[in-house]
Chain A
Amino acid sequence: MRHPIHRRTLLRGALGLAGLSLSQRLSLGALISEDELADAGTLVILQLSGGNDGLSTVIPFADDAYAAARRSTRFAQDEVLGLDDYLGLHPELQHIRSEFESGRAAIVQGVGYSNPNRSHFKSMDIWHSASPDGRAVKSGWVGRLSEALSTTGYNPERVVHIGGSLPYSLHSKSSPAVSFVQPDNYRWVGNEPEMNDVADQLGSDSNSESSGGAIGHLRGVMRDAAASSRRIRSAAAQYETHVDYPGGELARSLRTAAALIKSELGCRVVSLEQTGFDTHQGQRVVHTRLMSQLDAALRAFQADLAGSAAGRKTVILAFSEFGRRIVENGSNGTDHGTAGPMFLLGPSVSGGLHGAHPSLTDRDGDDLIFHTDFRSVYATVIEKHFGVDSAGVLGGSYAQLPLLG
């Protein structure tokens, strides 16, 4: 049984409810247009933080150079979930393999950028800002996408991050994301009525935009917090699903994401993070556990999404800041490397392997050489999924890939 609260229902309800203040009605009235809602397909961005070992995710089991480079982290042909006679998925990625077989999982191989940076932070900044200059560009690519989408009106939940610190990709001065760790904690405790009162007053005078500077920014955040807290919490609290999610942070966050998407709050991007991929030591056990959590959480999430139209329009994009070194280090782990695979999942995805596996012998020192710029994947998603001009968002044109139907 599912009871998603639809924004349309909220709108109808709001106009008929005498209990709402004028400003509440005004702010609800200024919400996203029905147009944005009608096409709304959500992009779920899953960040695998720490540098996922691509070679243990999409495994070139038949490559002698792989066998030579990997001892403790090696998977043999009879262990992997075969994709073809050269490649196989990590044994735990059973759901992703079945999606792959059904043509709903795209694996983009050899993704990276030139002059690879092996610092987690700097490389993540490059992925987030979609620029080699990182944060110097002052905004994230999702932030700029959100700005491009924001012509449709006030919609604080357009971009939502579920988790601790906000990824820089979502950063935007004019169209900031909302973020929370757990929906039930996304509220003021002990002073909520008063805070909502304040936010209402701020909401009603925000049209004048009289207050700039830091106080203006804080008022904007407070207004977004109050508006989104009510909607996000009620969407999450009232959400019921027949799908059994596994335990763990990632699955919990994905369940919340499903609640938001199916409630049609107008979320265009939901961002989440799975951490722990920095496997310098004893990688096999740690990475296998991560793969298992990832696969089980995605299995539940996708089963959940399949039950609704909004869910079926959702695309999942998974990336990591870099892959890892081809050759293992001395402590049964791997060090920071370069190119790695990206994953796209969903009914509208053109499944299959995109691009060749990067060569393990024609390489840069102990590192793989990328052949596909990550911004090509972004450009494809921006154009095909959102119908937005990607050059404007990415600050340049990148070849699109046949990833989305």
Chain B
Amino acid sequence: MASSKVRTPFIMLKSIHAALGTNLYCPGLLVAVLAAGSLSALTPSPSSRLGHDEIEGTIRWDARSAEHLLNRAGFGASSEEIAGTVEAGLEATVKKLIERAKEGDLPFFAQRLSPRDGLMREERMEAKSMEMDAATFKEDNFEMIKELRDRDGEQLDRFLNWWVTRMRRGDNPLGERMTLFWHGWFTSSYRDVKSSFEMIEQNKVFRTYGLGKFRELVVGIAKDPAMLEYLDNDSNRRKRPNENFARELMELFTLGEGNYTEQDVKEAARAFTGWRDKHGKFEFVERLHDRRKKTVLGQTGKFGGEEVIGILLEQEACSRYLAKRMIGYFEGVEPNEGRLEDYARFLMATEYDIAQVLEKLFLDPEFYRDEVVGTRIAGPLDFLVGSTRRLMIEPPARAIRLGSAALGQRLLDPPNVRGWEGGEAWVTTGTLMMRSNLVGSYLGLVDTREELSDRDRAMRALRRANWGPNLNFSALLERADIVRDAEIVEYMLESLFAVPPTAESRAVAMNFLESVRAEAGLGDGELLDAGEDSELWLRRLAHIVLSLPEANLN
């Protein structure tokens, strides 16, 4: 069979084998097409290889389910990465994703640069000792604050580019996914914290504890300087308790609304008194701490913050809240009661081991059911990072994150303490068009100088970088002998959509190729014979495909 199918483009197999339910996999061909791009970290070693269409348990492990896993656990994948993942098998892939994420990465090195980081104190002392007059000091002070703010903003930009680059490269897909997940859960905003150092350190907390025990993560966040600032625990004192952190800790971080009383909030707040941010370091100030008895959720004692966190995590409500939100995030729909109960119990039994619950979820046949696969509206980062991964292009990280911000997802600046709302709210008429135009600019099709206003910051970033994509669709297709309209359209739809295309979308793509061919006087099968024009048509086709409704689902 293999020899007779040698000219069949492997990318098309995804739909064909899905339709026929047969194993049409052909490794020799894979190698040929893979030569066009680099191998991802996920590409398996030969020994771990399982049959392409092998069914593990009740999960049908094929390109569609593999792509689903890579979309949700990471930020999407190219066709070749998907093929490699299918080959590796489900269990090996999940294991690898988790192991890689637990292994972690070298952290971003951040400096204290903000006026909030305590840098001004020495200067103030110096000014005082020099007996500088008030007006001069004020002027100096103002200049210095401004300079520090600028430098702090630059460090923030560098960090964000680093982060987005990591999402785009996909060396540690699940690690980056979980970092974003926890950033949306334990939100803090640079706008309020005003210190890039603290925001970067908080990000490190997600990276360090994000796949470990939830308790360590919650404690880490409760002591995290950025969080201490963001939710005002820094000013939570024995004599004037500030309940902001205690409330959100219960409402959004652990229990969910309705599972505690106002009195619980007040009592818990007292347990966190004296937890402060000392210029980017956690500090416990004994004299500001309320050492008296507290009663939280029925338990009484002279609790400190960590003990309260312990009490919260003992609650069944906490395990249910975590299960519901995690499954809701990864599946896009909330779990039914049976699964919720199952996952909540599992969390309790494993002492909230995040890696174990992720493993359970990714190996759960329910995770791969039709209601879940390809039915979630992709957020801005999922859409932009995912599209560039599927296209195998790497536009400047800055253009991706500014594009994402324009679409409503600005990293380290969530809209409020609840994080990003997600779902349908991501897409408005204006942002739907903007998504298309951003992808068009990444494809080098939208003239960033002429066609859109220079007030668009993502476009400006591309222009400054002299951006043009390193793409050669025509050579890629030629090599794989994908030459007829129907095959080319199938290739594009398969490699750029996470869901099967609708009839309308296929028709639009077909019409486009037919019309450009007709105009150039070429027959079906000759589309790749027009040199530069061919490449331009193929890029335009990719642009059209990524602008269709299905491109916004994953």
Are A and B associated in one complex?
yes
Contact with B along A190-201 (1 / 0, CB 8 A): 110011011001
The digit string for A218-233, where 1 denotes a CB below 8 A from any CB of B, is 1101101100110000
CA gap between A176 and B424 in the complex, in Å = 11
A179 to B549, CA, bound (A): 18
Q: CA A155 – CA B54 in complex, angstroms?
A: 51
Q: Are A194 and B451 in contact (CB under 8 A)?
A: no
Tally A-B pairs: CB < 8 A: 121
Tell me whether A59 is interfacial, beta carbon within 8 Å.
Answer: no
Chain B residue at minimum C-beta to C-beta distance from A218: B549
Contact check, B540 vs A217: say whether CB atoms are below 8 A apart: no
Known: A188-B547, A198-B508. A217 touches B427 (CB 8 A): yes
B504 interface residue (CB < 8 Å to A): yes
Q: Are A191 and B543 within 8 A (Cβ)?
A: yes
Contact of B433 with A186 in the complex, beta carbons under 8 Å: yes
Q: Does B41 make an interface contact (CB < 8 A)?
A: no
Question: Within the assembled complex, what's the spacing in Å between the Cα atoms of A161 and B519?
Answer: 40
Residues of B within 8 A of A187 (CB): 433
Contacts of A214 in B (CB 8 A): 375-377, 424, 553
Q: Are B548 and A198 in contact (CB under 8 A)?
A: yes
Residue B452 at the A interface, CB < 8 A?
yes
CB of A219 within 8 A of CB of B549, answer yes
Report if A241 contacts B (CB, 8 A): no
- The answer for the CA separation of A68 and B3 in the assembled complex, in Å, is 91
Chain B residue at minimal CB-CB distance from A211: B502
Determine the distance from Cα of A195 to Cα of B424 in the docked complex, in whole angstroms.
Answer: 20
A51 to chain B minimum Cβ distance, whole angstroms, is 14
Cα(A92)–Cα(B456), bound, Å = 31
Where chain A touches its partner, the secondary structure class is helix
CA distance A195 to B546 in the complex (A): 11
Neighbour of A178 across the interface among B421, B429, B453, B550, CB < 8 A: B429
For the complex, is B511 an interface residue (Cβ under 8 Å from A)?
yes
Report the minimal beta-carbon distance from B25 to chain A, rounded to whole angstroms: 30
- Please indicate the chain A residues that have their CB under 8 angstroms from the CB of B445 in the complex: 190
Contact A225 B432, beta carbon cutoff 8 Å: yes
Residues 310-344 of B at the A interface (beta carbon under 8 Å): none
Contact between chains at B425 and A171 (CB < 8 Å): yes
> Closest chain A residue to B145 by CB distance?
A281
Determine the residue in chain A with the shortest Cβ distance to B410.
A165
Band of interface residues on B: 35 or more
- A18-50 interface with B by 8 A CB criterion: none
Q: Does B430 contact A (CB under 8 A)?
A: yes
- Chain A residues near B437: list those with CB within 8 A: 185, 188-190
> Are the CB atoms of B430 and A179 closer together than 8 Å?
yes
A300 interface contact, C-beta 8 A: no
**Residue contact B416 to A189, C-beta cutoff 8 Å:** no
A14 at the interface (CB under 8 A from B): no
Smallest Cβ distance from B554 to chain A, in angstroms?
10
Contact (Cβ within 8 A) A189 B430: no
Quick check: B511 and A225 within 8 Å, CB to CB? no
Instruction: Output the least CB separation between B431 and chain A (Å).
Output: 8
Once A213-B375, A215-B550 are accepted as A-B contacts, the answer to whether A185 and B456 lie under 8 Å apart by CB is yes
Cβ-defined contact, A191 with B544, below 8 A: yes
CB within 8 Å of A: which of B227-265? Answer: none
Please give me the residue from chain B that is nearest to A187 by CB atom.
B433
A sample of 27 cross-chain residue pairs with beta-carbon separation below 8 angstroms, ordered by A number, consists of: A121-B415, A121-B417, A135-B421, A165-B408, A176-B428, A177-B428, A178-B428, A179-B429, A179-B430, A185-B452, A186-B429, A188-B437, A189-B440, A190-B440, A190-B540, A190-B543, A191-B543, A191-B544, A194-B508, A194-B512, A201-B507, A201-B508, A213-B375, A217-B427, A221-B428, A221-B432, A229-B429
The interface of chain A, by Cβ under 8 A from chain B, is: 119, 121-122, 125, 135, 156, 161, 164-166, 171, 173, 176-182, 184-191, 194-195, 197-198, 201-202, 205, 213-215, 217-219, 221-222, 224-225, 228-229
